[in-house]
Amino acid sequence: MPLRLRLFFSGLTGILLLIPSLALYRELSMPADIWWTPTAMAVPLTESRDRVEIYVRGEPLGGLLNGQKLWIRDEGGSRALGAQEIGLRFNNRDRVRAGRLPLLLAYAAICGGGVAILFLIAAGRLAYRGEDPRVAA
């Protein structure tokens, strides 16, 4: 393959490799703390029973709150803690990442194939027969 064509196809393949490479980099460099439920959207204790159970000294937190066994002390004195005062935040990173895993694997496969093609083009290992003068005329 002529040098001019090798440089052109190497450059084209390198540019096309940037697309999945940047997507992989963006996904893998995301901060881990962005998947937490926002504080303003914290789930009340009564609505979170299907995802989490909290126990204090072996007893469920809901039972302790209903029996007014948990008290909080502040500047106004002591008072029983209510269930409406407790909010839960969840970390959904594992669920989001598991959903994106097939796409990440596809990007990784594309990057691997692209690097192999780039190596073959840059090294001149692809067969090039040139033009047949009888056909070109």
Query: What string of pLDDT tens digits covers the 137 residues of the chain?
Result: 678 888 888 888 889 899 889 988 988 888 777 778 788 888 888 888 777 888 888 888 888 888 888 888 888 888 888 888 888 888 877 777 788 889 889 989 999 998 998 888 888 777 666 667 776 55
CA dist list (Å): 91 to 32, 36, 37: 9, 4, 6
* Spatial contact of 121 and 7, defined as CB atoms under 8 Å apart: no
Q: Where are the domains of the chain?
A: 1-36+91-129, 37-90
* Spatial contact of 47 and 64, defined as CB atoms under 8 Å apart: no
